[in-house]
């Protein structure tokens, strides 16, 4: 099994869902993996600008469980050894009709995200998330997260 498929398999086994008191609000926790393609440009001041595109998968243990395709794209600045910041947009799709979207501020240890809408059952979604990087590799890594999504 290649590295790309191993990353998908690890992420697909990792997310929990818990309903809160409000029927339109869900709390999610989990872990996952991602694979990234990156382009860089060195600046004259010694810093490096990068753009990155990541893909992965996630599961949500609803009844029945569903599988989500995850795609992210962002732009960031590397300011020193293992120091960077990036703004990242992500979409998580269950199928052609149902998806939710995030915008995140990310750094070496993780970051925070805001739910910025969706489609289908997540149309008009709002919420927040925090995530922590748990490992990095040359072309990807793993993370853990906590997320709350509310729908109208």
Task: Look up the CATH architecture of domain 3-150.
Answer: Beta Barrel (2.40)
> What pLDDT score does 65 carry?
67
Specify whether the CB–CB gap between 10 and 53 falls below 8 A: no
Q: What is the pLDDT of residues 76-110, one digit of tens each?
A: 999 988 799 999 999 989 999 999 999 999 998 89
The SS3 call for residue 55 is strand
Domain definitions of the chain by residue range: 3-150
For residue 121 the two structure tokens come to 């059952």
pTM: 0.81
Q: What is the pLDDT of residues 1-50, one digit of tens each?
A: 334 333 433 333 333 333 333 448 988 777 777 899 999 999 999 999 99
């Amino acid at each position: 099994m290649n590295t790309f498929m191993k990353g998908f398999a690890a992420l697909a086994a990792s997310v929990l869902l818990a309903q809160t008191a409000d029927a339109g609000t869900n709390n999610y926790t989990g872990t996952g993996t991602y694979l990234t393609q990156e382009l860089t440009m060195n600046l004259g001041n010694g810093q490096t600008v990068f753009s990155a595109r990541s893909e992965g998968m996630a599961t949500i243990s609803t009844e029945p469980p569903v599988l989500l395709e995850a795609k992210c794209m962002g732009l960031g600045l590397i300011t020193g050894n293992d120091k960077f910041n990036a703004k990242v947009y992500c979409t998580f799709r269950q199928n052609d009709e149902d998806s939710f979207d995030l915008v995140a501020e990310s750094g070496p240890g993780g970051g925070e995200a805001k739910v910025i809408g969706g489609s289908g059952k997540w149309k008009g979604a709002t919420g927040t998330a925090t995530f922590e990087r748990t490992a990095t590799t040359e072309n990807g890594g793993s993370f853990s997260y906590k997320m709350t999504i509310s729908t109208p």
